[in-house]
Amino acid sequence: MNTYNKIVGYALTLSLLFVVGSCNQGRGNGGALGSGNAERVYVAPGEHDEFYGFISGGFSGQLAVYGLPSGRLFKVIPVFSVDAEKAYGFSEETKPMLETSFGTIPWDDSHHPDLSQTNGEIDGRWCFINANNTPRIARISLSTFETEEIIELPNSAGNHSSSFVTENTEYVVAGTRFSVPIPQRDMSIDEYKGNFKGAISFIKVDQETGRFDLSFQVIMPGFDYDLAHPGRGASHGWMFFTTYNTEEASTLMEVNASQNDKDFIAAINWKKAEELIANSDFETMATEYAHNVYDESTQMATSTIKKEVRTLDASKYPGLVYLLPTPKSPHGCDVDPSGEYIIGSGKLSASLTAHSFTKMLDAIENEKFDGDAYGIPVLNYDDIVGGVVQSGGLGPLHTEFDGKGNGYTTFFISSEVVKWKLGTWEVIDRKPTYYSVGHLMIPGGNSRKPFGKYLVALNKITKDRYLPTGPELSQSAQLYDISGDKMVMLSDFPTVGEPHYAAGAPADLIKPNQLKLYKLEENNHPHAVKNEKDTRVERNGKEVHIYMTTIRSHFAPDNIEGIKVGDKVYFHVTNLEQDYDVPHGISMIGANTSELLIMPGQTETFVWEPKKEGVWPFYCTDFCSALHQEMQGYVRVSARNSNVPLKWSLDGE
């Protein structure tokens, strides 16, 4: 009887635990106890995430693609740095992508991805990202998830207030962080003030192909241009940039660029600029910049050096630019979904300043000016401020929006995200981050239509968040559920390089447009071979071209003789597969380059310069099939003066 009672008691207790446990998990907003968070980020095996996250690779120079809410890393897309895994910058086809007016550069520092938009809403066509060090903007196809185009920006240095798209992707806009002599010349640094200038570049985007054209640059005073966002809705046609160092200092900037009580948000009327350009009212300046394009049809990149750029000096064109005083070296420059409020986060301040676009227009109309800077009107602060968020945090940096009337701002110094209400400017919630958060991202969070379900905080310092990996830990991200009144932290995940900005999009916007393979009949690579019968080896002096194919599970040809020490051997390899996710790789012993990783239907080329006599093997580097280990071949290398004839074969034929 006792045993019976005990068992019944256990059973009842168990039942109650189930009830309590299950219902806690079921509540969407009851995150205080932390229960149920696991299932909110859990994506079952074989299931897909709800959102794509495109997170800048920071000082890796690349772009990382994540799934949200799982935080799973899907791909690192090489953009500004070489990537031996994907032969980016190593294959003959992709080497031109990294050309600049300074020559080939194998690395950069990628910062701010932004997605193409139509009518102010993200549309899933392209992702753009800036190189900060040697100023460039890249366009990444969201069909192939590969970098298709890179354009260098002349007159720029520290390409930081970039790469932000206007509401219909008319332009990708890029602003210089460092002002420099324009054009560059040998001059004393002491003469910075008044002589150095800042260039803001407007890159026109072809709506069919996505191809870039550097349309014009607005030449601004010698401030530092930090971040930017486009106007939207009523403010469409304007672009807003935060500035600091309006002191125009050039040394010990942490002190000398922090002297002014207020710096500016520069409001550029690009519709006005378009009129000036259309009326040929601009100056053409001689310069040099590289424009690199990858052609999906020929599967080759080409690099062209361009020689001039159209410029508009902001001081000379009334109505082109206005300056909005904003407290204390503002960093983030964020525009709410309606386009009415332009938020400046004074990084040395505790508060946020929200300028009103309506008031700005009124101040311009009625000339409520507070002087000028180099002839550019400075609007009267009190006449344009729409509101101030007294946050209580320290070091505000960036703001995103949820589309439900709320803003979310990161605070670097106080390591937190603060949620506040547009219009009333009251603080609603605050949650710590781990640690020292920089950017944050809500999918679509800087567009007309945010998807306010998740927020990703991108932190600069990691410390104890993961198993230690020596002195450096990869930067951490935190995922928050923002669907309720209060934010709930769901998970941590590591990132690649130091992520700056990120962009997110619903998976359904991007998934249907995926390219699964390159059709062989559409492969117009000049060295493609479409079947094994056409494979061959050709000698032209010391240059040897091998026209090779791959298919499960062999190379054709796979035995080659007649190569000589000192030859320059081009392996042009076409993957004959027409099957999704079946690439082949190839690598050659002693080749001073990376492997190739060739997608189905694609042709790629690597160069091998044999230095030693012998018989040297090559093999498939990507486990392609059940007979992958058999996918190998030999090249016989003879002395320079040998008479071994050039011949090639597969299975002796």
Q: Given the rule CB under 8 A, which residues bind another protein?
A: 3-4, 7-8, 10-12, 14-19, 21-23, 25-28, 39, 44, 46-47, 516-517, 551-553, 577-580, 582, 600, 624-627, 651, 653
Name the token pair of 370: 């507070």
Q: How far is the CB of 17 from another protein (least distance, A)?
A: 7
Q: Per 3-state DSSP, what percentage of the chain is helix, strand, and coil (rounded to 5)?
A: 15, 45, 40
Distance in angstroms (rounded) separating the CA atoms of residues 457 and 501? 10
Nearer to another protein, 276 or 650 (CB): 650
Nearer to another protein, 24 or 260 (CB): 24
Q: How far is the CB of 209 from another protein (least distance, A)?
A: 22
Q: How far is the CB of 553 from another protein (least distance, A)?
A: 6
Q: How far is the CB of 333 from another protein (least distance, A)?
A: 37
Q: How far is the CB of 8 from another protein (least distance, A)?
A: 7
Q: How crowded is residue 197: how many other Cβ atoms within 10 Å of its Cβ?
A: 23
Please, are residues 98 and 106 in contact by the beta-carbon 8 Å criterion? yes
Closest CA to 108 of 156, 75, 71: 156
Nearer to another protein, 21 or 590 (CB): 21
* Sheet with 614-619, edge to edge strand ranges: 596-598, 584-588, 614-619, 632-638, 559-564, 647-649
Q: How far is the CB of 453 from another protein (least distance, A)?
A: 13
Q: How far is the CB of 411 from another protein (least distance, A)?
A: 32
Q: How far is the CB of 14 from another protein (least distance, A)?
A: 6
- In DSSP terms, 294 is beta-bridged to 301
Closest CA to 148 of 269, 320, 293: 293
Nearer to another protein, 13 or 101 (CB): 13
Nearer to another protein, 22 or 297 (CB): 22
Nearer to another protein, 193 or 519 (CB): 519
Nearer to another protein, 27 or 640 (CB): 27
Please, are residues 627 and 553 in contact by the beta-carbon 8 Å criterion? yes
| Contacts with 623 (C-beta within 8 Å, 6 or more apart), sequence order | none
Nearer to another protein, 12 or 305 (CB): 12
Closest CA to 417 of 396, 387, 447, 389: 396
| Contacts with 407 (C-beta within 8 Å, 6 or more apart), sequence order | 334, 336, 343, 352, 389, 399, 400, 401, 419, 420, 421, 422
Closest CA to 55 of 473, 511, 498: 498
